[in-house]
Amino acid sequence: MAGFLDDIEPLKQTASAELKAAPDLAALEQTKGAWLGANGKFTALMKQLGTLPKEEKPAAGKLINVAKVELEATLAARREELQLAAALPKEPTDFTLPGRRRALGKLHPLTQVTEDIVRAFRKLGFAVADGPEIEDEYHCFDALNTPADHPARDAQDTFYLATNGADTAPLQNTPAVAAVCDRRLLRTHTSSVQIRVMKSQPPPVRIIVPGRVYRRDNADATHNPTFQQIEGLYVDKGVTVGDLKGTVEFVFKELLGSDVKIRFRPHYFSYTEPSFEIDFSSALVKKMGKDWLEIAGCGMVHPQVFENVGYDPAVWSGWAFGFGIERIAMIRYGINDIRLFYENDVRFLKQF
């Protein structure tokens, strides 16, 4: 008995030293097998326990168990050490190497221009409104007093959505028919949102509407089948053309510099009376070899439009305008081809 008990401590010491000295995880597992595995030297000791006299078994068993728990703890500690070492980089780290830089993205130039326009109008108390890009004829045309025979109603200009084989041929375009037929289209301008906003709230109204519009145009240097517009609408009592001119001038000077000149030229839009086109002049326009560049349509809201949305034209007056954001961005940055905005070439985009 004495010999057996005396064996435990030295065996444990040797096993412990071997476990601690294992150079890597594979060696550690091997050492573990050699001592604690089914045929291990320490396991053999436990097997000898059975040969002891009955009264000596408890004390000897306890001793062996304590040693085994100790060895298992040593094993776990070494395993953790080696796992950590294995996870560390094999090569030394050179902290003097410069880091890898990520290129910072930027807002698209059209987004920058839109945000600047919105910021300028916010200073005047305008709120941003929104509407669907898939519209119906009523909001896009009828309610805006655009009669059925107007060229803008021609399928040449408008993308109509054919649903369930519905007839997309020109229909009798009265508001009543349009409401019943509900022919869908991709909005050709943001003016449709004027109707949606006025129908959803009583006057006064002071909104701007940036958004995407669609037309059946072939892409060239100045056209693209989809582009961005910004619409403005101001309805209150006693609003005049003077308010319209003052507002437009303020915004364009904010946007394009104080040397810009604005000119209003008589025009026709079915939803405004009188209607104007806004021409614009600046040093940059002169550089492009022109005196004036047309950039927007506008006018005083037509009384029929007020009738259509349930506003009393005898009480309320207002102005509206709409212009293309690409146009403004092209003037601002001196860009000569609209298609550059949509190609997503970082060499182009990174300049703004």
Give the bridge partners for 128, in sequence order.
208
Give backbone dihedrals phi and psi of 154, rounded to 5 degrees, phi first: -65, 140
Give backbone dihedrals phi and psi of 200, rounded to 5 degrees, phi first: -100, -5
Q: How far apart are CA 152 and CA 268, in angstroms?
A: 13
Please select the residue that binds ligand DAH; options are 189, 196, 327, 332, rule is CB under 6 A.
189
Q: Is 131 in the site for ligand DAH (CB under 6 A)?
A: no
Which span sits near ligand DAH by CB under 6 A: 4-12, 83-91, 238-246, 294-302? 294-302
CA-nearest of 252, 261, 289, 131 to 199 is 131
Q: How far apart are CA 124 and CA 121, in angstroms?
A: 5
Q: Is 320 in the site for ligand DAH (CB under 6 A)?
A: yes
In angstroms, give the least distance from the CB of 99 to ligand DAH: 49
Pick 18 or 231: Cβ nearer ligand DAH: 231
Pick 31 or 272: Cβ nearer ligand DAH: 272
- Concatenating the DSSP letter of every residue in 145-213 gives T--TTSGGGSTTT--BPP-TT---S-----HHHHHHH--EEE-SSTTHHHHHHHHHSPSPEEEEEEEEE
Please select the residue that binds ligand DAH; options are 228, 272, 282, 308, rule is CB under 6 A.
272
Q: Is 297 in the site for ligand DAH (CB under 6 A)?
A: yes
In angstroms, give the least distance from the CB of 247 to ligand DAH: 13
Which span sits near ligand DAH by CB under 6 A: 22-30, 120-128, 162-170, 267-275? 267-275
Residues in contact with ligand DAH, shown as a per-residue x/- string from 15 to 54 under the rule CB under 6 A? ----------------------------------------
Please select the residue that binds ligand DAH; options are 18, 136, 137, 231, rule is CB under 6 A.
231
Pick 156 or 163: Cβ nearer ligand DAH: 156
* Token pair recorded at residue 116: 């600047």
* Token pair recorded at residue 193: 């949102």
Phi-psi region of 182 (alpha: psi -120 to 50; beta: other; left: phi over 0): left
- Report the residue count for the chain: 352
Please select the residue that binds ligand DAH; options are 191, 192, 224, 317, rule is CB under 6 A.
191
In angstroms, give the least distance from the CB of 305 to ligand DAH: 9
Pick 11 or 298: Cβ nearer ligand DAH: 298
Q: How far apart are CA 234 and CA 215, in angstroms?
A: 26
Which span sits near ligand DAH by CB under 6 A: 52-60, 70-78, 204-212, 265-273? 265-273
Which residue in the block uniquely carries the two structure tokens 């509206």?
320
Burial-class residue 333 by CB neighbours within 10 Å (0-12, 13-18, 19+).
middle
Pick 36 or 309: Cβ nearer ligand DAH: 309
User: What single letter denotes the amino acid at residue 83?
Assistant: Q
Please select the residue that binds ligand DAH; options are 45, 298, 329, 338, rule is CB under 6 A.
298
Contact positions vs ligand DAH (CB under 6 A):
189, 191, 231, 269, 271-272, 297-299, 320-322
